[in-house]
Structure 1
């Protein structure tokens, strides 16, 4: 075999390895991106479920707590913010607002023993708690996917492939204001 033939075989082998690396990296990035999009879809489904439950819960509380107009207005504002949110950061901000408002709503409900005993209210409250748990799980799954995708996009040599094909880092779905989450909501009557 001639030297030229050996050089051509080595070059072909190197090109084959490079092509396989690019294909493998690209497929890995697509898989991670699709997982992140699936996780985001799960979050939006649960947020929609919660926004659908909230009017029923508010109506249950309204019958007992007619003078708590400010709480009901804040619930409506928070619900609207979630429904109109675009992207992870905007949705996280609206989500944080909703969590605070729901704490206020449940604090109002605590002041009315007959409401706390109402079966419809109790069922709605349980469904909302279940939905909140699902939102938290979906958020963790989404953030895990974002972490994996962003790590792959930012590490060498996959970052070269990510740059060639336009893969972008995604935003985490973070709690925006830690103080509002760590401190209880104060409700005054």
Structure 2
């Protein structure tokens, strides 16, 4: 009888510990996603400052302004729930925009606002670094969470008590395409 009571208590403690691990891991993923969104919104602020400057030489590069507005809109429409897949187009758009802005600055060095634009471009690059770091942390937390709900006994606790689905990490297919090495998994 005592042995049965000890076994029940032990199972209860294991279930309690793993339940809390799953909830904690899920909350870390959501926090990491919030950080990604925060950095993306900071990028919007820089784009808001960049937009009037680019409008000044819109005659030279009319499509550039549209791309800045489109990127800002795409960042603003990122979901509040963690979703690495939703970030792909925003990340690709930011990289493309940065390259086009650099080309525009090189093509029209006589513009008065070039120094201001250069400073804003440095800020855009810094924000891209912040977003990249936040995405790295997000993916790390996604991996930990997914492991927590896939490994036993967490998988059992999740199935019986929480029902949390796997979260898709962010991946950059464009960057992956440029790498020769492909892991065999």
- Highest CA radius of gyration, 1 or 2? 1
In the TM superposition, residue 64 of structure 1 has moved relative to its aligned partner by 3.6
Question: What is the distance in 2 between the residues matched to 1:46 and 1:116?
Answer: 29
Task: Single out whichever of 169-178 and 132-141 deviates more from structure 2.
Answer: 169-178
Question: What is the distance in 1 between the residues matched to 2:71 and 2:117?
Answer: 20
Q: Paired residue for 1:99? A: 95
Evaluate the alpha carbon distance shift between residue 98 and residue 129 of structure 1 in structure 2; reply closer, same or farther with a 3 A threshold. Answer: closer
Q: Which of residues 115, 119, 122 is equivalent to 2:118?
A: 122
Aligned residues: 174
In the superposition, the TM-score normalised over structure 2's length comes to 0.84
Gaps of 5+ in 1: 1-7, 183-189
Over aligned residue pairs, what C-alpha RMSD do you find? 2.1
In the superposition, the TM-score normalised over structure 1's length comes to 0.83
Question: What is the distance in 1 between the residues matched to 2:5 and 2:37?
Answer: 48
Q: Which of residues 62, 65, 68 is equivalent to 1:72?
A: 65
Q: Paired residue for 1:52? A: 45
Question: What is the distance in 1 between the residues matched to 2:125 and 2:112?
Answer: 15
Gaps of 5+ in 2: 179-185
